[in-house]
Amino acid sequence: MESTGKITKKEPKLKIFCDFDGTVTKNDVWVSALGKFIKDKEKFQIVCDEFINNVITSRECNVRELALVENFSFEKFNEYIDEEELDDYFRDFLKYCEINGYEIFLLSEGLDYYINYILEREKLNLKFFSNKLIRSYENGKIKLSCDFPYTDEVCNYCGMSKRNILINNTNDWDNEISVFIGDGVSDYCASNYADIVFAKKRLASYCWKNNITYYEFKNFNDIINKLEKLKIKHKIRQRQNARILRRDVFLGG
């Protein structure tokens, strides 16, 4: 067979990068479950507000909040986590991704302990990247801290660099399209580097203020429906501004 001399462009392949707290789960598990062990609600709110207003980094926020935890018990913590529910349509979304061959990564500034706990409880085998819960003992009581295994070597703002995971797992040259799904402050950075952004709450406000094209959603059924519409209209493509930013990261810009 003679070659036509034409280069056939590969069909776009979606890579899904999804926040966990308040996105996969209905509530922010850190706040609703771990927060039950923080008695000084005023100090807790101050730390939260300083993080939201970019006064402190995500790392500092995590460390300071864990320092406020008192009388911690894993048995009690597990009971609180058991009260946390997944988005009503998250399993439908996972099935949708499986049928279409879309790889999915969970990205979280939260803690590996409760993410593991919930995924095992729900019998879900998903890749996830998060901060690591560290336990120690002081005067017979459990003290909590955390480690940051997925931080960026240059930027010390994020505890877990969602941007880096997204960039390192998306191949622009193979026509892979990154889809980012999130709701909060810890999702701001990564949303700049994604081709398609689904946002709600604070992330939606951030995208709107910073001219980042995004699709608002309430649940994962909204995301399924929107992705199908984009496919039908042939609008699944790399976002030019995001691609430039990803290239600049690789070039050290």
Place of tokens 């999130």: 182
For the entire predicted model, the pTM comes to 0.94
**How many angstroms separate the CA atoms of 206 and 198, rounded?**
12
Average model confidence (pLDDT) across the chain: 94
**Each residue's pLDDT tens digit, 193-208:** 999 999 999 999 999 9
The structural domains of the chain, with segments of one domain joined by +, span 13-26+86-248
Q: From residue 120, how far is each of 32, 134, 189 by CA, in Å?
A: 19, 20, 29
What element of type H or E holds 138? Answer: strand 127-138
Mean pLDDT of 237-249: 94
**End-to-end Cα separation, the chain, in angstroms:** 45
Question: What is the domain class of 13-26+86-248 according to CATH?
Answer: alpha beta
Mean pLDDT of 201-228: 98
Which ranges in 82-213 belong to alpha helices (H)?
90-100, 112-121, 162-168, 188-191, 201-209
Sign of the dihedral defined by the CA atoms of residues 21, 22, 25, 29, in that order: positive
Token pair listed for 9: 């462009």
Determine the pLDDT at residue 139. 87
Instruction: Name the band, by pLDDT with cuts 50, 70 and 90, for residue 1.
Output: very low
